[in-house]
Amino acid sequence: MQSATLNLSRSAPLLRHRRHLSSSPNPLLLRPLPSSSSLNPSPLVIHALPDPLRSFPSRRLHSWISDAPLSSEPERAESLTVHASSSSESIEESKPASGNLLQTLQLGALFGLWYLFNIYFNIYNKQVLKVFQYPITITSLQFAVGTALVLFMWATNLHKKPKISSSQLVAILPLALVHTLGNLFTNMSLGKVAVSFTHTIKAMEPFFSVLLSALFLGEMPTPWVVFSLVPIVGGVALASLTEASFNWAGFWSAMASNVTFQSRNVLSKKLMVKKEESLDNINLFSIITVMSLFLLAPVALFVEGAKFTPAYLQSAGLNVKEIYTRALIAGLCFHAYQQVSYMILARVSPVTHSVGNCVKRVVVIVTSVLFFRTPVSPINSLGTAVALAGVFLYSRVKKLKPKAA
The span from the CA of 398 to the CA of 222, in Å, is 9
Task: Please give the pLDDT value at position 342.
Answer: 77
Task: Please give the pLDDT value at position 218.
Answer: 82
CA-to-CA separations, 252 to 188, 231, 245, 359, in angstroms, rounded: 10, 20, 14, 24
- Give mean pLDDT, residues 112-120: 94
Q: Percent of the chain at pLDDT above 90? A: 41
Backbone CA torsion sign across 147, 151, 152, 154: positive
Does the pTM surpass 0.75? The reply is: no
Cα diameter, the chain: 71
pLDDT per residue over 312-357, tens digit each?
Answer: 999 999 999 999 999 999 999 999 998 888 788 778 876 777 788 8
Beta-carbon neighbour count of residue 315 at 10 Å? Answer: 9
- Give mean pLDDT, residues 379-403: 84
- pLDDT of residue 286 exceeding 80, the answer is yes
Q: Which pLDDT band, with edges at 50, 70 and 90, does 402 fall under?
A: low
Task: Please give the pLDDT value at position 154.
Answer: 92
Q: Which of 77, 79, 12 is nearest to 49 (CA)?
A: 12
- Within 8 A by CB and 6+ apart from 361, the residues are 1, 53, 72, 73, 199, 202, 203, 388, 391
The span from the CA of 56 to the CA of 74, in Å, is 7
- pLDDT of residue 158 exceeding 90, the answer is no
65 touches 177 (CB < 8 A): no
- pLDDT of residue 251 exceeding 50, the answer is yes
67 touches 52 (CB < 8 A): yes
Q: What backbone phi and psi angles, to 5 degrees, belong to 400? A: -75, 125
Q: Which pLDDT band, with edges at 50, 70 and 90, does 219 fall under?
A: confident
Task: Please give the pLDDT value at position 96.
Answer: 57
Task: Please give the pLDDT value at position 138.
Answer: 96
Task: Please give the pLDDT value at position 97.
Answer: 62
The span from the CA of 312 to the CA of 128, in Å, is 15
pLDDT per residue over 370-380, tens digit each?
Answer: 999 998 889 99
Coil, strand or helix: which one is 202? helix
Q: Which of 243, 199, 213 is nearest to 56 (CA)?
A: 213
Amino acid, single-letter form, for residue 198: T
- Within 8 A by CB and 6+ apart from 226, the residues are 210
Task: Please give the pLDDT value at position 124.
Answer: 96
Q: Which of 189-193, 290-294, 325-329, 348-352 has the lowest mean pLDDT?
A: 348-352
Q: What backbone phi and psi angles, to 5 degrees, belong to 17? A: 70, 35
The span from the CA of 188 to the CA of 372, in Å, is 18
